[in-house]
Structure 1
Amino acid sequence: MIKSFQKSRSYALSALICLTLTACGGDPMVSGLDPFAPSVFKEGSTTMPLNPPNPDKLQSFYVSPTTVFKFSIDTSSILIGADGVTRYIVVITNPSGDQQAQYEGIRCDSYQWRLYGSYESGAWRPNPLSQWNYIKLHVPNRYQAALAQGALCDFSSQETSLKAVLRSLNPEKFTGGTQPTNSFGVMGN
């Protein structure tokens, strides 16, 4: 009878230990994964566009009163990536009418942009020196800042609705020429 009791107690103790270990398996302090730790950015793969900018889908947007260039985004090229990068084709027109098209991406979480490539001689050419650069606010040709502030970002978060991005690019609603404030009246990046 004592052996039976010890055996039962041993089984109960083993079951209790198993349950405790199972319950602790998801505990961040035990697993080493902190759910509140900042995540490390891992960019997804980026392929160059297959087509040139679509002239029927170019949407001009306001950048600043000091620029002499005209800026447009190909709305059919906007890709809202699951990696937190919004990619797009931008067309820059100089005062004489010459155009340059670039394929770029914006990260709202770090307020950075990247030039993936340019459209040259009828083909997309990757930028071999492509890297993430901080978006500059106080330069005349601040078009990345205008896009980030006016349509692609919701403060430091990526706008994930293409419909909302397209609505924000509407010239009557576009606010890219001004810097938004948060609810406390503090200027963003």
Structure 2
Amino acid sequence: MMKLSICNLRISILGLVTSFALAGCAGDPLESGVDPFAPMVFKEGATAMPLNPPNNATSQPFYVSQQTIFKFAVDTNSILIGNDGITRYIVILTSPNGNSQVQYEGIRCDSFQWRLYGTFESGVWKENPLSTWRAIQSNVPNRYQASLAQGAFCNFTSQEKNIKTVINALNPNGFTGQIKPTNSYGVID
């Protein structure tokens, strides 16, 4: 009886040691064939259109450039910081004659790209069936995606994960997406 117990103990210990050895090999990139230095493949999460129109009470205007004639604002209640690396938001673009266009977009900081998911037309959100990722343009007058990425949504090439930090960065007094021009007395024009 004692011999049987010692034999069972030895088999159990041998099984345990073998399990640890196999577990150790499973994480070895040379054994598994996974290159730890290979670039990660981007996988976008599901994106649902917003349920509500933009809220004027939570819309935050932001400065884009001296060359633009449009006004821009983000509905701060709509900002979603996704686990997939995309910051989604509602933006309101207003022309000089007062006409507004409302869009639901996303920004990827790692690749400096943006995507138009849909527009708000006649009181209804309409998905953009041709939506693709596009490079953010930094050298055009209506460079609002670049302003949002550089001033609030991104920390260089990584996504800002703290919503408070994003909303504080959108504050017009401290927004750095594009520095407002000043005259020689430091007064903002």
TM range (shorter): 0.7 to 0.9
Gap runs ≥5 in structure 1: 1-11, 179-189
Q: Could you tell me which residue of structure 1 aligns to residue 10 of structure 2?
A: none
Residues 27-176 of structure 1 mapped to structure 2, 5 A cutoff: 27-176=28-177
The residue identity in structure 2 corresponding to 1:119 is: F
Number of residue pairs the alignment of both structures matches = 169
Q: Could you tell me which residue of structure 1 aligns to residue 182 of structure 2?
A: none
Deviations 1:67-112 (A, max 9, x none): 0000000000000000000000000000011111000000000000
Residues 174-185 of structure 1 mapped to structure 2, 5 A cutoff: 174-178=175-179
In structure 2, distance between residues paired with 1:22 and 1:116: 43
- 2:131 aligned counterpart, secondary structure: coil
The residue identity in structure 2 corresponding to 1:147 is: L
The residue identity in structure 2 corresponding to 1:29 is: L
Q: Could you tell me which residue of structure 1 aligns to residue 7 of structure 2?
A: none
In structure 2, distance between residues paired with 1:82 and 1:139: 30
| TM-score with structure 2 setting the length | 0.84
Q: CA deviation at 1:13?
A: 9.2
In structure 1, distance between residues paired with 2:154 and 2:110: 9
In structure 2, distance between residues paired with 1:114 and 1:73: 15
| TM-score with structure 1 setting the length | 0.84
- 1:103 aligned counterpart, secondary structure: strand
Q: CA deviation at 1:21?
A: 3.5
Q: CA deviation at 1:124?
A: 0.3
% identical aligned pairs: 62
Deviations 1:9-55 (A, max 9, x none): xxx99987665433212111111223332110000000000110001
- 1:73 aligned counterpart, secondary structure: strand
